[in-house]
Structure 1
Amino acid sequence: MSARLGECPGMHDVWPAPGILLASRYRLVTLLETGGMAQVWRTTDELLDRPVAVKLPAGDTRAAHLAWREARLAARLSHPGIAAVHDYREAVRPDGSVAPFVVMELLSGETVAARLTDGPIPWGEAVSIGAAVAEALAAAHAAGVVHRDIKPGNVMLCPGGVKLLDFGISATAGEPDDDDTGATFGTPAYAAPERLDGKPAEPATDLYGLGVLLFEMVAGEPPYSVDTWEELAAAQARGPARLPDTLPVRLRDLIGQCLDDDPYRRPSAAEARRALARLIPSTGSRRTIPLPGPPPTGSARVVPRLTGDPAVNRRRIAVGIGLAVVAGSFVVLVNSVQQSGGDDAQFAAPPSASPVVSSPAPATPAPEPPALSPSALSPSAKASALTVEAAVSRVRDAVQEGEQAGEIRPDVALDFLNLIGQLDGVSGVDLDDRADLLSRKVRQRLGEGGLTSDQAAVLQDRLTELKGAAA
């Protein structure tokens, strides 16, 4: 019997179907969800004897091309906060056509979208999730990858931490946007303004998505709660929803900076991560999500917020699956809590883990988080004390110090210093334009691996100081 027996015509009335063997290795088990651009299956890797997820794009050539791009770009990334791609292969349909597919890490947990079905998330927990997403984005941007679809359905809360999903419409930083169909524009409520202008892919686009994610987590809805591009245009004319007045001022400011219409005024992912990490409450009264990676010794293990009612759990999990995969989710949710003796991925914590229970809300408001350091995102007070000449000198010093510390490649440092030399004696609009050019160059060089994300954050901070001094 042929090794491709599962792919031969006549074996199934519908293809794909449970039991089919793809590429002589991956046995389809259960269809988890069907979205507009793909089907996602729970699958057994028969070579390594492990469960995986397989994403089979829906028919057309563009979907197949996106699957190949997704696999290539995601394969660049190795970070505990980013769901892993294991393989890219091709199968043969009964009609003889080729179906590409992506083999992915199979995760358990719930998406932020599913979590939001209970209402807004306490701000202390929201900033913990946001910090983890920002850290994953910093790693992606350092590898030259822009996600372009940051939203609650693409962020999963797993037992081991937060995972960023779905690189289905990702792009290389600086790549021209030649899509005239709108298929890769993302979801209207979460799309950055520059995406609609056809500008090249830039990390700042993901920071806008992070701002919308934070906004929705604490407010219960995005700034523009819309489903179509036409509704988005109408909503923008009316203005965005408001953030709750009870939020810490620093969190409100950070969200506003991420949502700035000007991408060059948004923080970098590394800057956002640091600012969010400082906002995480230190008290034990709020449930927080750890940053990706092994938890510190003695820290609480984070588990999905499941109730004791299996029916409710299944409903919550199903909502998470639908929201994550209908958007072409990069990694799938498992559609049921593991029953005794079953082989489905389990959503509850392992037996050794104790669920984390939120304490009752304190009678008095939570204390304000500690003040941000001078490297935080609001340099207006610091910039106001600087002359333009001093601010230019600080940018130059940062480049030289970064090169000496090995955090900026010598050729990249020389490129930066040449551009900084053009700032001397310039003022007004010309200074703003040249500072913006240098800011774009920093992002470009970060994507190429020419400097570290921390050093890029320092330079962007110094450039913001410069523009503040010139104002």
Structure 2
Amino acid sequence: MGMESLTGRTLSGRYRLEEQIGAGGMGQVWRAIDTVLDRQVAVKIMSLDAAHPDPTAVERFAREARTTAGISHPHVVTVHDSGATDDLAYLVMELLPGPSLADEMVSGPMPVAQVEGVAREVASALGAAHSRGLVHRDIKPANIVRGDDGRWRVVDFGISRLADGPTAVTQPGLTATHMIIGTADYLAPEQALGRPVNGRTDLYALGVMLWTLLAGAPPLSGTTPVATMMRHATEDVPDIRDVRPDVPAGLAEMITALTGRNPEDRPATADAAVTLLDRTPDVSGTVASAGLAATEVIAGASAATAVLPTAGSTAPRPPVVATGPGTPRPQAAPSSRAPLTPEPDQRRWGAVILGVVAALLVIALAWNWWAKRDATTPDPADSPSASQPLEAPSLTPSTSPSPSPTPTPSPSATSPSPAQTSGAAATAVAAAADALQSAVSGAEALGAVEKPAANALNKQLSAISKAVRAEAPDDASQAMSDLRSAYDQAVSDGRIKGTGATVLDPLMGALQSAVDRWAG
């Protein structure tokens, strides 16, 4: 479905496609002309490829049309029409000039007044969706776009679903092969762990998004999507005032409440969340001028291929001192949030993912424990007052709500012996190898890894496990090198499909790190 072949095509005798303005996993977005009403519209299209049919994707696309059309709200994108031809399904929406919040963030952290306005408008939209029993499941800056009236709109209900619960309407098959759906940086812990979702799942994402708009980067990013999911499942989102002291108490309290790891700790409704914001004066009236930028669901002023800072924005972007590896945050009070305990998932691919996340958690906690036992007092130059560039936080999960400098052990403290440290490192290798072997088996069962490739990987994984039992780190290092070569070759020649590589890549990295630590 090339852009050239569709330019000028008229769908159902009414919608003439003018210019492609975006693309995503669900298809392409075009600026079009409604020839009946003589107005510009956005048309989202998906190929109905007879050679590679995907009934699940078609149903999700149709559901997006029904879902969004059923919500009449000033902060939800308006759907005008939907339909299908012999080779395309399409969804006709209002054309939003933009920018999206993702575009706004190109210029850096947003002013508090703007973020408060976003909080109110997006919460209002979510309240409308939740009142119909719908959960968006992918609230993030790219899915919040400004309309021509200056108000923000929530877009892309393509992966929304009815809230899970005892009386929920089930939708069998729509997510069976992709159990964990959403964007890792904004994924609620229950989403990351494959548990039921409801309106509070969207509220968590809203809280993380507000934190991100204020800080300029997400709070719990990891080096891979799996690592990011693990951090959301095991760490509390830090107090936004650690990085933005100018955030008023009401907004900070709202974000903290929204990002509780346990859904029961979050506000029950979007309206309840806004009441926390109302404890401070409303300064949301200041709205930056709407610039023009091409995003996935909005049109740009021209066929620009780069996203540029908003042209009309004059509000200053306050500097932010971010915390990252080597920059400890101030000590926070102990959290009262209850940890989220994962439940068993009976679905095959979901079970594989959950096992992977659990294994990675064991590895990370083991490494973190021994690292803390060996740690010394941080250098004063690394104090929170030192200005440092904005960077993603450390991957290593913490068992406390807010990481703090580890004090130098007192003379009476017992340090781990070399044998204890080596034993913990070997245990981490064994856990990482088991996690990877489980994932390989699951990916093979789903056709994401061909049997010969799976056999080659399992052979080297068995060699690593044998080396652990023999307490032979050098042998494990050699087997790891052979495993890496076999894996890279299988990815290169297509015996490991893209979906398989997406899951296996971070596990290969975790095992490599574990072996290097043990052998080193």
TM-score, scaled relative to structure 2: 0.52
Superposition pairs of residues 355-370 of structure 1, within 5 angstroms: 357-358=314-315
Q: Say which of 71, 77, 80 aligns to 1:83.
A: 77
Does residue 216 (structure 1) correspond to residue 202 (structure 2)? The answer is: no
Q: Does structure 1 conserve the Cα–Cα contact (< 8 Å) formed by 2:69 and 2:78?
A: yes
Distance 1:66 1:102 in 2: 12
User: Could you report, residue by residue, the CA deviation over 1:117-149 in whole angstroms, capped at 9, with x for unpaired residues?
Assistant: 111111222111111100111111112221111
Q: Say which of 274, 286, 289 aligns to 1:303.
A: 289
Q: Say which of 154, 162, 166 aligns to 1:172.
A: 162
Q: Say which of 225, 230, 238 aligns to 2:221.
A: 225
Distance 2:140 2:316 in 1: 28
Residue 212 of structure 2 aligns to a residue whose secondary structure is helix
Does residue 26 (structure 1) correspond to residue 26 (structure 2)? The answer is: no
Structure 2 stretches lacking a partner, 5+ long: 319-335, 337-520
Superposition pairs of residues 137-156 of structure 1, within 5 angstroms: 137-156=126-145
Q: Does structure 2 conserve the Cα–Cα contact (< 8 Å) formed by 1:25 and 1:47?
A: yes
- Structure 2 equivalent of residue 198 of structure 1: 194
- Structure 2 equivalent of residue 92 of structure 1: 86
Distance 1:15 1:91 in 2: 18
Structure 1 residues 229, 173: closer, same or farther in 2, change over 3 A? Answer: same
Does residue 108 (structure 1) correspond to residue 86 (structure 2)? The answer is: no
> Which segment drifts farther, 107-116 or 58-67?
58-67
CA shift for structure 1 position 42: 0.8
CA shift for structure 1 position 152: 0.5
Distance 2:235 2:163 in 1: 32
Does residue 288 (structure 1) correspond to residue 286 (structure 2)? The answer is: yes
Amino acid at match of 1:336: A
User: Could you report, residue by residue, the CA deviation over 1:10-51 in whole angstroms, capped at 9, with x for unpaired residues?
Assistant: xx9878510112122211111112222210111111122211
Q: Does structure 1 conserve the Cα–Cα contact (< 8 Å) formed by 2:146 and 2:152?
A: yes
CA shift for structure 1 position 357: 4.6
- Structure 2 equivalent of residue 252 of structure 1: 252
Q: Does structure 1 conserve the Cα–Cα contact (< 8 Å) formed by 2:20 and 2:30?
A: yes
**Which of structures 1 and 2 has the bigger CA Rg?**
2
- Structure 2 equivalent of residue 270 of structure 1: 271
Q: Say which of 30, 54, 65 aligns to 1:41.
A: 30
Distance 1:211 1:129 in 2: 11
CA shift for structure 1 position 223: 1.8
User: Could you report, residue by residue, the CA deviation over 1:246-275 in whole angstroms, capped at 9, with x for unpaired residues?
Assistant: 122332222111111111221110112233
Distance 1:348 1:215 in 2: 20
Amino acid at match of 1:21: T
TM-score, scaled relative to structure 1: 0.57
Structure 1 residues 280, 42: closer, same or farther in 2, change over 3 A? Answer: farther
Distance 1:90 1:75 in 2: 16
Distance 2:158 2:36 in 1: 26
Structure 1 residues 170, 109: closer, same or farther in 2, change over 3 A? Answer: same
Q: Percent identity?
A: 35
Residue 36 of structure 2 aligns to a residue whose secondary structure is coil
User: Could you report, residue by residue, the CA deviation over 1:271-290 in whole angstroms, capped at 9, with x for unpaired residues?
Assistant: 122333444544xxx8734x
Amino acid at match of 1:288: T
With CA pairs under 8 Å and 6+ residues apart, which has the higher RCO, 1 or 2?
1
Q: Does structure 2 conserve the Cα–Cα contact (< 8 Å) formed by 1:116 and 1:217?
A: yes
User: Could you report, residue by residue, the CA deviation over 1:174-227 in whole angstroms, capped at 9, with x for unpaired residues?
Assistant: 345762322761111111111233333411111011101111011111122247
- Structure 2 equivalent of residue 372 of structure 1: none
Structure 1 residues 16, 23: closer, same or farther in 2, change over 3 A? Answer: farther
Structure 1 residues 67, 234: closer, same or farther in 2, change over 3 A? Answer: closer
Structure 1 residues 280, 217: closer, same or farther in 2, change over 3 A? Answer: farther
Q: Say which of 298, 319, 326 aligns to 1:333.
A: 298
C-alpha RMSD of matched pairs (Å): 3.1
Residue 250 of structure 1 aligns to a residue whose secondary structure is helix
User: Could you report, residue by residue, the CA deviation over 1:94-125 in whole angstroms, capped at 9, with x for unpaired residues?
Assistant: xxxxx221111111120111101111111222
Q: Does structure 2 conserve the Cα–Cα contact (< 8 Å) formed by 1:177 and 1:199?
A: no
Q: Does structure 1 conserve the Cα–Cα contact (< 8 Å) formed by 2:96 and 2:148?
A: no
Q: Say which of 60, 63, 74 aligns to 2:68.
A: 74
Distance 2:186 2:114 in 1: 21
Distance 1:205 1:253 in 2: 18
- Structure 2 equivalent of residue 453 of structure 1: none
Distance 1:22 1:227 in 2: 43
- Structure 1 equivalent of residue 6 of structure 2: 17
Structure 1 residues 250, 67: closer, same or farther in 2, change over 3 A? Answer: same
- Structure 2 equivalent of residue 65 of structure 1: 59
- Could you list the structure 1 runs, at least 4 aligned residues long, displaced by more than 6 angstroms after superposition: 12-15
Q: Does structure 2 conserve the Cα–Cα contact (< 8 Å) formed by 1:133 and 1:163?
A: yes
Distance 1:91 1:16 in 2: 15
Structure 1 stretches lacking a partner, 5+ long: 1-11, 94-98, 290-301, 307-312, 326-331, 340-346, 350-354, 362-379, 381-471
Distance 1:44 1:244 in 2: 47
Q: Does structure 2 conserve the Cα–Cα contact (< 8 Å) formed by 1:81 and 1:162?
A: yes
Structure 1 residues 78, 14: closer, same or farther in 2, change over 3 A? Answer: closer
Superposition pairs of residues 416-435 of structure 1, within 5 angstroms: none
Residue 129 of structure 1 aligns to a residue whose secondary structure is helix
Q: Does structure 2 conserve the Cα–Cα contact (< 8 Å) formed by 1:210 and 1:258?
A: yes
Q: Say which of 100, 108, 116 aligns to 1:127.
A: 116
Q: Does structure 2 conserve the Cα–Cα contact (< 8 Å) formed by 1:155 and 1:165?
A: yes
